[in-house]
Chains A and B, each alone.
Chain A
Amino acid sequence: MSLSTLYAMTGVALFSLGFHALLVQRHLLRKVLALNVLGSATFLLLVGMARRGGDTPDPVPHAMVLTGIVVAVSATALALSLARRLKAAQGLVRLPEDMPE
């Protein structure tokens, strides 16, 4: 198993962990954590799999991951500020379980 494959597989494992947690965790902070793990997993996968071909690192996935990290932190900041407002306005730290359907 090559280095890249190892990390790509780590990515897959982390992705499933994060996905699972995103679905089952109720606390908003945990959902945000899950989302971040999910993001990191995808980034690992991206670089790991792209490296398979040659020896020299490919700049394209690197650029993609750098962008992705910035996006992830912005989304996290947005999510946390929403969570704070939700707590302040309605005292909620979880999403209402039963949705208004």
Chain B
Amino acid sequence: MTSESVLTVTDMSKSFGVVRALKGVDFELRDGEVHGLIGENGSGKSTLTSIVAGQQRADAGTVHFLGRPWSPASVNEALDGGIGMIVQESGTVPGISVAENLFLGDAGRFVRLGLVDRAAMNREAGRALAAIGIDAIDPRTPAGALDFQTRKLVELARVMMHAPKVVVVDETTTALSQHGRETLYRLVDEQRARGSVIFISHDLEEILAVCDRLTVLRDGEMIRTFEKSEFDEDAIRAAMIGRNLDGHYYRADTTATAFPQVLLRATDVTVGDKVRGVDLVVRAGEIVGIGGLSHCGMHELGQALFGAVRLDAGNVVVNGKRIVNEQRAVRAAMGYVSKDRDTESLSLTASISDNIASAGLRLLGRGRGGLITRRAEERYVAGPMRQLAIKATNDRQVVGTLSGGNKQKVVFGKWIACGSEVLILDCPTRGVDIGVKQAMYRLMVQLKSEGKAIVMVSEEMTELMGMCDRLLIMKDGTVAREFQRGPELTEMEIIQCMI
């Protein structure tokens, strides 16, 4: 039974403009397996699965599902046919109810005499939610009123209620808490009995734990499929980036270091009930990590340090300047990388050059009476583009067309170019592939050695442990505990104080 293939992709190609996202990919999914797909951003994982799940169409190649040719016109058609996908970004619609979300694009099935029978829809929705073990959600609640994780679960229910033969899980777990993950893993496990799962994740550990087989994609090509017996982290990593990663992925040293000079001093920072009386001192050349569960207030603290939210009490002083808003922060040589990169840190329709130059326009005009010439701008932008190895045809390329990793490099470039001394990084490696991640970490180490101060907010415990001189764990808006960098620090200990 397990060796029978349910889905075969042969020689599939797909281009977006000049970018070739898939180049003749072959892929086989067996019945009853959880098949991992892994690869750097832009390697083609999502393109492959979105074609299979009806979100878009291939330019060339064939797909066979259960022995028949397969080319669904829409997500709903694919779902009806037996393939459902849970997408990376939020797939729920905030303005309508949970029930309506569950039957998105499919309200037609409740139509009686031309009208939609809302009560029946709600009933059906309640059943679907209960079926995957979440009964705390009222189907009539507007989806926008739910938190991100619950919305993900709604999406999960939306797919699972069709009892699909194949479920595609596309990097969903990054958004989920421990409880949410457990629900997902349970469902993935149960799906083995009914069919198969394609599981996409950046998290190698996770993928190794969950999957039976895994396929590595790189630059739109299929590199290799690993059987469970062949699972080997280094080999997989090497396949992913096409070369062997050198030893230290994170920082090499294990001792906390910093210059004596204090660059950032925050006292009694209070933002509503999200952040309550936090004190923080960051020195030059120091990386301070802030971790915790997603709602512990760490993101809000990061915003507060940068002056992006109004403080209800306390103050933040950087380089002797009190930070009351973003302008002051930037003037005080601070930089901020938001966790929502596309919506908060980039102007997607603008060019790389426009984005990188945006924080340094005053610098660019300095000494010329404010005059900004294209030549000066090109020179200004060329530095970070080279330093960060941003992959683009030229600095005029529109940022929206870049891959996630390159986008994040542009954001970093913006702050490096203008000489920021204090950087607030909120989930700087979210949605970024290993290669870029490593580049970011190296950059952080370099900045540290240059005497810059870095506050890194992150949900990834390993990254915090790997990079930080000091680590603050937040819980309910306050700092629960502070850890110093050291070889004896264990993840267990930290997670303990988070919960």
Query: Is B one of A's binding partners?
Result: no
Give residues in B with beta carbon < 8 Å to A: none
- A: residues with CB less than 8 A from B are none
